[in-house]
Chains A and B, each alone.
Chain A
Amino acid sequence: MPGGEAPAHNAPVTARQGAGEGARVRLRGVHRKFPGGVVALDGVELEVAAGEFVALLGPSGCGKSTLLRLVAGLDLPQEGTVQVTGAGGRLAYVFQDPHLLPWRSVQGNVELPLELAGVGRGPRREAAAAALAQVGLTDARTRYPAQLSGGMRMRASLARALVTDPRLLLLDEPFAALDELTRARLDEELYELWRRRGMTVLFVTHSLGEAVFLAQRVVVLSRRPARVVGELQVGLAGRREPALRTTAPFNDTVRRLLAMLQEGEVG
């Protein structure tokens, strides 16, 4: 590929890997305290298998974002270990808000990760076009973030994460600021993307329904300082369609999760 000095971790999305190539994540006794004395994480144990879709569920401000930043290597724990294997550096992060560069077009924003990795213009264009097509933003590629709706901005943010064909996708309450309908649609699309591409997904949310709808496994965190208070294999069969949200198994799982959350509240 032109720009051959590019590290392997940012191969364009067109060079798509087969399913099951996700990274593994392992956290052992992770403890993170902030300078002010606030303990965000207190002995977190977590294991995520390759290609698994795991939702981290917990009350607002419980330290879920801190956990994600540790996994991304953007922060370090005081105690314990954070291990990510098999990612080859191909990690992507989606924030709660889109956080696009407002001076760049949608296309320019999506190309950014490849640009930073030194990928040449041609492959960059191609990969961005593919990523934009996946999130349905092809027609908006020349527009600027200020000209987009909240949902479209989030799609652009998602495309930016997908453009490097990540093996580990970290999402921090990505659709929380969107309206219910847009959020549900993006949930469905995210699920489809995961099913097709087989990367490992760590999805932080405080929505029970979203966790059950998306994840294979839900890990429940306690109020701050966060510890893992329980987990649940979801094991819902079939496609992710709106109708799923009203079925008995779905609601039953939500109820069980709610009980776990409440237990975590009490401590």
Chain B
Amino acid sequence: MRAALRAALPPLVAFAAGNALWEAAVRLLEVPIYLLPPPSRIAAALVTHAATLGGGVLLTGQAALAGFALAGVLGVAAGVVIASARWVERAVYPFTVLLQTVPLVAIAPLLVVWFGYGVRPVAVAAFIVAVFPVIVNTVTGLRSVDPHLVDLFRLYGAGFWAQLGKLRLPAALPNVFAGLKVAAGLAVIGAVVGEFVASYAGEQAGLGMLALTYARESHTDRLFAAVGLASLLGLALFAAVGGAARVTLRHWHASEQERP
């Protein structure tokens, strides 16, 4: 408990100091609120519009989580297929790179054509940006299996599935988690960008849609609140993945072991 407090203190102090500096600068320099609102105004907007913003968090969180989960499952599956044989890798890998290079904003309208408006195209947008790091890291993990252990499994007559389930996938787990950590933040970004295109403004608006609306209305304080909440959402998802990694890997992988 004490250690946790000590770990949390430095970033909290930095946060408070940064905000104080910001507040003071905006007031002293008399910066117009629509350009850069002081933290106090953003906090006030957060309270006043808690219901709307909270609904946005829920909606965007839902879409990001769905896209992230899809990216996790399909990304690992694709990694397994790609790593299964060199010729498959050569045939498929270049196209998975396309996932990374395709401009999301440009294909978001297409997602609307395919999935209509609402949460589905947003979740798909989150999936598209989140899946690539999962695939790449899974392939790397599956590839870096100790060849001696592969020999051992062969010696004891292990088939493809036994090798996958008892050797390759567990060995790839640290890499898979690394991919999922990157994917967590990306899924929220993908969802927010997806909402720019694929959502209605209104009662049921996600954080991306809200941010867009607030920007148009020059409600910069609310815009900051929405953006801040979106960042927190990404952070929360990242922390959840980190926690899962810690629980899963703590016994055996150097990345999650505490050094005395």
Query: Which residues in A have some Cβ–Cβ distance to B below 8 Å?
Result: 7, 10, 69, 72-74, 89, 91-93, 95, 97, 99, 101-103, 112-113, 115-117, 144-146, 164
The answer to whether B155 and A7 touch across the interface, beta carbons within 8 angstroms, is no
The answer to whether A101 and B167 touch across the interface, beta carbons within 8 angstroms, is yes
Q: A93-B152, A144-B251, A146-B252 are in contact. Are A116 and B170 (CB under 8 A)?
A: no
Q: Assess whether B173 is interfacial by the CB under 8 Å rule.
A: yes
Chain A's closest residue to B251 (CB) is: A144
Which one of A7, A99, A145 lies within 8 Å of B152 (CB-CB)? A99
Q: Assess whether B27 is interfacial by the CB under 8 Å rule.
A: no
The answer to whether A116 and B252 touch across the interface, beta carbons within 8 angstroms, is no
**Complex contacts, A145 vs chain B, CB 8 Å:** 252
What's the Cα separation between A145 and B149 when bound, in Å? 15
* Residues of chain B from 132 to 167 with CB closer than 8 A to chain A in the complex: 146, 148-149, 151-158, 162, 166-167
Contacts between chains A and B (CB distance < 8 A), count: 53
The answer to whether B156 and A116 touch across the interface, beta carbons within 8 angstroms, is yes
> Is the interface on chain B under 10, 10 to 19, 20 to 34, or 35 or more residues?
20 to 34
Q: A103-B170, A103-B173, A116-B162 are in contact. Are A95 and B148 (CB under 8 A)?
A: yes
The answer to whether B157 and A116 touch across the interface, beta carbons within 8 angstroms, is yes
- Apart from A116-B156, A164-B156, 4 more pairs, CB < 8 Å: A89-B157, A103-B170, A117-B156, A146-B251
The contact sample of 18 A-B pairs, CB cut-off 8 A, is A7-B157, A72-B155, A74-B151, A93-B151, A93-B155, A101-B149, A101-B167, A103-B251, A103-B252, A116-B153, A116-B156, A116-B157, A116-B162, A116-B166, A144-B252, A145-B252, A146-B252, A146-B257
Q: Assess whether B253 is interfacial by the CB under 8 Å rule.
A: yes
What's the Cα separation between A145 and B254 when bound, in Å? 12
Which one of A69, A101, A146 lies within 8 Å of B151 (CB-CB)? A69
What's the Cα separation between A103 and B145 when bound, in Å? 13
**Complex contacts, A103 vs chain B, CB 8 Å:** 170, 173, 249, 251-253
